[in-house]
Amino acid sequence: MLHRLKRALVDSYVGAIALGYLFAEGLEQMAMVITAPFSEWIRQEELHRIYPQGAVEAGFRLQASVIPLFHGVLFLLAGFLLLRWLYYPAKVEAVIESASASDLEDEG
| pLDDT tens by residue, 7-31 | 888 888 888 999 999 999 999 999 9
CA–CA separation, 50 vs 45, rounded Å?
Answer: 9
Q: What is the pLDDT of residue 54?
A: 60
Residue 76 and residue 27: Cα distance in Å, rounded? 8
Mention every residue, 6+ apart, whose C-beta is less than 8 A from residue 56: 44, 47, 48
- The three-point CA angle 18-19-23 to 5° equals 120
More confident residue, 93 or 6: 6
Which helix or strand (DSSP H or E) is residue 24 part of?
helix 14-50
> In this predicted structure, what is the pLDDT of residue 8?
87
Q: What is the pLDDT of residues 50-98, one digit of tens each?
A: 877 665 565 667 787 889 999 999 999 999 999 998 888 777 655 566 6
Cα-based distances in Å from 66 to 28, 29, 42, 69: 14, 10, 18, 5
Mapping DSSP to helix (H, G, I), strand (E, B) and coil, where does residue 61 land?
Answer: coil
